[in-house]
Amino acid sequence: MLKYWKLSGLVVLAAAVGFVAGRAQDNKTTVQISHVSAAEKIIGLEFTTVEKDSMLDDLNENLENYQKVRTVYVGNDVPMALQFNPIPVGWNPDRSQRIVVLSEPERTERPDDLNDLAFYSVTELAGLIRSRKVTSVELTRMYIGRLKKYGPQLECVVTLTEPRAMERAQRADQEIEDGNYRGPLHGIPFGAKDLLAVRGYPTTWGAVPYEGQVLEVDAEVIKRLDDAGAVLVAKLTLGALAWGDVWFGGKTRNPWNLEQGSSGSSAGSASATSAGLVAFAIGTETWGSIVSPATRCGVTGLRPTYGRVSRTGAMALSWSMDKIGPICRTVEDCAVVFQAIAGPDGVDQTLIDLPFNYDARVPVGELRVGYTKSLFEADYGNRKADAATLERLREQGVKLVPIELPDFPIEALSYILTAEAAAAFDDLTRSGRDDLMVRQIKGAWPNVFRSSRLIPAVEYIQANRIRHMLVQDMQRVMADIDVYVVPSFGGNNLLMTNLTGHPCVVLPNGFNEEGSPVSITFIGKLFDEGTVLVAAKGYQDATDFHTKHPPLFP
C-alpha cells in the first residue's frame, strides 16, 4: 500500500510531463505552456493560451511539492487515508449470529493408500484427523511429497515451508491427543499465495525485484489459520505483482492441460489445489484473480465481500478493490476456511464486523435466485453448460427470477485499479527496477504503472463517484433476491462486482470440447457469504464436476 492521489487533474499530468519513461528528471525542470498543451491531448481537454499561462505558477509549485513528497519513503504496507465504503445508503445489515451448521462428511474411513487423501475435502480430512484415524503428520508428509513431486512440473510452488509445517503438524497431533481440538482446520495442510507475509520465509510477490524479500511478520490471514491449527506447507505462485500466471520462476500450469497456463493471478493456489498438492489454498482477487484460475483449474473459490478479510501483511495492489479468499475443492470447504479468516483485526480499517451465518441444511429451492437473463441468452462459449446449470437449479425447485445489471460504462472505470496499482508500486517505477520484471509487453505491469501516472486525479475521483452510484443501483437489483447466478465471464459482471465489493462463489459446471473445466458464478448480497455459499452448495451437491481430478496427477 502506498501513496494516495490528492492533486487535481492537469496538475498531475503537467508534473508527469517532467518524466521520461517514469524516471525523475532534474528538480529544476520547469513546466512551460508547451508542456500544458501536450498534457491537454492526454486528458481530452482544451484551455486558452491565457488560461495555460495562468496555470504555470501553480504547476511549477506543485512539481516542487511532488519532489518533496518523494523524499518520504512510503512502503507498500501503508494504506490510503481515503477508504472505499461498499455499504449502500440506508442499508441495515443482519447483526444476529447463529450457529454455523456444516454437512456430514461422506468419506469417514482411512483409505488403504494414504495418497488417496490428496483429493478429500477439508471436512472429510477433518473428521479423520479428529477421530485420529489419520494424523496431521501423515497428511502433511503426504502433501509435501506431492508438492516435491509435482510442484516443479506445474511450476506452482515458490517456497516449501517444510520445517514450519512439520513442527505445526506435530503440535496439532499432540493437541488433539490431549483433547484440545481447535476445529475443522486443525492439522489440515494448506498453501498460501506468495503475497502473504510469513515470518522466516521469502515473500516474493512473484516478481524479480522482490525475489529476495523477507518480511519478518506473519500476515493476519496466516495468523488466523495458525490459530485454527491449520498447517502451512507451501507459499504458492502468483503472476508477478498479482497479474496473470507468469512469475520470476516460469509459468504456472493448468493441471488439466500442461500446455496451458493456470490463469491468474492466484495461479499456484488454484493449480496446487486442483492437482491435490494441498487440501486448500488462499488466493486474492482484485479483478478476477480467484474466479479466473479457479475456472481454468476446475476448483471452487470464494471471493468474499470487500471489507470481510484482513489484508494486513498482504501485498497491496488496489486498496479499494483487493480481497482475500479461499480456493478449495468444495463450496463447504470455502465456508470452513472463510469462517476462520474473516473479521476485524484492529489494523485494517476497511474491515466491518458482521456475523457469518451458514447453514448447510437450507435447500437451495427455498432461496430467491436471480439470473442475468440477457447474458445467458447471448452467444458465448460456455452457453450449453450454463444452460444446463439453470435447468439443474429449476429441478431443485428454484424459481429463477430474471434480472438486469446496472447500465454503467464499467470497463471505463477500470483505471481506478490501475491508478491505485501505480501508486502502490511508485517506488518500483521511479527507481527503474521495473525493468527487472519478466513481462515487459505493453499490457504488462511496468508499462501500465508508467501510463497510469498520467491518469488525472480529477478523473480518478469522478470514477469513484460513479462507483458510488453503482453501489446504490446494485442494492436495488439485489432487493428482491437472495443471490443471482451469472456466466463467470458474462458481460461486465466480474469487474462490476469487484468494484461494488459483492461476494461471489465460482465453481465447476462442466468441461469444454478440449476437456478443460468451465465454471458458473453465484453472486451474493454484501456481507452475506453464508447465503451465496448455501446456493452454490445446493447446485454443487446435485452435480459431480467437483469430484473430477486431472488424470496426470493421481
Residues with catalytic roles: 193, 265, 289
d(CA 17, CA 23): 11
- Our measurement of the distance from residue 229's CA atom to the centroid of its chain's CA atoms, rounded to an integer in Å, reads 23
d(CA 47, CA 68): 28
530 three-state secondary structure: helix
307 three-state secondary structure: coil
d(CA 266, CA 252): 10
Q: How far is CA 203 from CA 194, 209, 237, in A?
A: 6, 11, 10
Other Cβ atoms within 10 Å of 246 Cβ, number: 23
Residue owning grid cell 469513484:
464
Amino acid identity of residue 34, one-letter, is S
B/e letters for 338-372, b = 16+ CB within 10 Å, e = fewer, are bbbbbbbbeebebbbebbbbbbbebebeebbbbbb
Is the separation of the CB atoms in 78 and 2 below 8 Å? yes
Q: How far is CA 171 from CA 221, 487, 507, in A?
A: 20, 44, 34
The x, y and z cell numbers of residue 244, run together, are 496473470
DSSP 122: H
Say if residue 265 is preceded by a cis peptide, omega within 30 of 0. yes
Terminal-to-terminal C-alpha distance of the chain: 41
The x, y and z cell numbers of residue 530, run together, are 453464508
Listed in sequence order, the DSSP H helices in 354-478 are 373-377, 383-395, 415-424, 426-431, 445-452, 457-477
| φ, ψ (nearest 5 deg) of residue 105 | -65, 150
d(CA 73, CA 2): 9
